[in-house]
Structure 1
Amino acid sequence: MKVLLVEDDQFHASWMEEMLADALPEVSEIFHAQNGAEAEREARLLSIQAVVMDLRMATRNGIEAARTLWQERPETRILFWSNYADEAYLRGITAIVPEDSAYGYVLKTAPRDRLKLALRAVLIEGQIMVDREIHRLQRRQATPWATLDDSEFAVLLDLAIGLQDKRIAERRGMSLRTVQNRLLALYDKLGVDAEETEPLNKRVRALNRALVTRILNIEALEAAQRDFDQWSATRR
């Protein structure tokens, strides 16, 4: 069995290689890529179907690389391994994973036993496994009522890249009234209306709250802009 390790930090890469050798005696070869772009080339060249993927890398992040890998080989099993428990990452992963594909998401701070369990569950047994610590940290970062549904999150992404209500409605196939209702729900769930009495721009404040609570991050914003550019190009 061949495994591709995608990690730009040499210390973490060396440690994960040791973990792979210890947890998965089935592994015959471990290949290393420094970033998402290298991962795509290596996976294509070597027909890799088992991947351990860092999420935050300078050259093409893990979600963008995973999107390409799954488009080319939907059966690829990917364990995402990260320092970050951002909700934006988990939403980004679940939005691109093919039906019936195996994936996992575990923190780099996870105990050895938990990491070994995740490696076997995802790469060998083909299961879906998201570390409970990720969900716990997300609940701590967000307010109790701040769970956004998919349509609210889509409107938040469009808001974040600067779209006006009419453009959001056109893109998402919603009525203008529906978009405005989604915005009101966003303000409520993000606590915008409950804040200090100083007059604020609610759209900007909602974006601020989404970034502070890690519902959004820079990778999610970059992906949203790319998706909008592609959609806009088809409208011309």
Structure 2
Amino acid sequence: MNILIAEDDPFHRSFLASTVREALPSCDSLFEASGGQEAIDLAEANELDGVVIDLQMPTISGITAASRIWEKRPDMRILFWSNYSDEAYVRNVSRIVPKEAVYGYLLKTASAQRLALAMMSIFLEDQCVIDREVRGVQQRAMDVHQGLSNTEFEVLTDIALGLTDKAIATRRGISTRSVQSRLKQLYEKLGIDQLPHDEDGPIFNSRARAVAIALSRGLLNYEGMSLGESKLRRWLEDGK
């Protein structure tokens, strides 16, 4: 069994390495990366059976690195190990997981024993393992009354990237009227429709205010926007 660890903090990387050796005695080769690009390169150069990766790393995040790895190996088993359970992180991970993939999302506050059990479940038993706190965030995000639907989150990301209604319609293969309908639903859930007005009309730009509220609530973050920017550039390069 060949396992890759991707973690920029040397102490955490050493801890992960010792946990892998304890939990997976059948591990023959253990590769270590201190950043996202190094993780991508090692995954391409070696026949791996699994990856343990930190979500937040400099230059290329763990989410982007995992997405690139899954593009080549959609069956790769990946355990995300992170300090963060914000909705933006949880959603961004969920958006990149292939249907056939076995994966896990464990917080760094979990005990060493819990981490070892998660590794055994994912890499030996092909079972997904999701931290209880993360599972709670997933359930709240799926609430039809409070959480954003996938299409609403998608249009939120698109306006944060600066796309016009027409560009969003072209990219998503829908009509501009459908885009406006999704924006209306998004604004209602974020409370944009209740913002104050003066005699000249609204005092906020709805798109900018939606992005600001989403950032303050942890619905958007740097890693997710970096991934969104990468996908947008690919779409533009492909000639839309």
Q: State the TM-score, normalizing by the size of structure 1.
A: 0.89
Secondary structure at 1:214's aligned position in 2? coil
The aligned residue for residue 42 of structure 1 is: 42
Deviations 1:60-112 (A, max 9, x none): 11122112222222221110101111323333223222222111111111123
Contact 1:141 1:214 in 2 (8 A): no
The aligned residue for residue 184 of structure 1 is: 184
Residue 223 (structure 1) shift: 1.8
Worse overlay, 113-122 or 86-95: 86-95
Secondary structure at 1:11's aligned position in 2? helix
The aligned residue for residue 168 of structure 2 is: 168
Change (3 A) 1:124 1:74: same
Change (3 A) 1:27 1:35: same
CA distance in 1, matches of 2:134, 2:195: 27
Secondary structure at 2:193's aligned position in 1? coil
The residue type paired with residue 26 of structure 1 is: S
The aligned residue for residue 226 of structure 2 is: 222
Residue 162 (structure 1) shift: 0.9
Q: State the TM-score, normalizing by the size of structure 2.
A: 0.88
Contact 1:63 1:93 in 2 (8 A): yes
The aligned residue for residue 132 of structure 2 is: 132
Secondary structure at 2:238's aligned position in 1? helix
Secondary structure at 1:235's aligned position in 2? coil
Residue 204 (structure 1) shift: 1.1
* Equivalent position to 2:213, from 209, 214, 220: 209
Contact 2:36 2:59 in 1 (8 A): yes
CA distance in 1, matches of 2:166, 2:45: 45
CA distance in 2, matches of 1:61, 1:9: 13
Residue 196 (structure 1) shift: 5.7
Secondary structure at 1:81's aligned position in 2? strand
Contact 2:155 2:168 in 1 (8 A): yes
Change (3 A) 1:141 1:72: closer
Contact 1:5 1:30 in 2 (8 A): yes
Note if 1:123 corresponds to 2:127: no
Contact 1:168 1:179 in 2 (8 A): yes
CA distance in 2, matches of 1:213, 1:141: 12
Worse overlay, 118-127 or 6-15: 118-127
The aligned residue for residue 21 of structure 2 is: 21
CA distance in 2, matches of 1:213, 1:232: 29
Contact 2:75 2:101 in 1 (8 A): yes
The residue type paired with residue 209 of structure 2 is: R
Secondary structure at 1:94's aligned position in 2? helix
The aligned residue for residue 6 of structure 1 is: 6
CA distance in 2, matches of 1:196, 1:129: 44
Deviations 1:185-204 (A, max 9, x none): 11111222345667322211
The aligned residue for residue 80 of structure 1 is: 80
CA distance in 2, matches of 1:218, 1:90: 13
Deviations 1:150-196 (A, max 9, x none): 11111111100111112211221222221111111111112223456
Residue 6 (structure 1) shift: 0.3
CA distance in 1, matches of 2:157, 2:141: 19
Change (3 A) 1:95 1:141: closer
CA distance in 2, matches of 1:150, 1:144: 11
CA distance in 1, matches of 2:20, 2:42: 18
Residue 113 (structure 1) shift: 3.2
The aligned residue for residue 147 of structure 1 is: 147
Counting aligned pairs with the same residue, the percent is 43
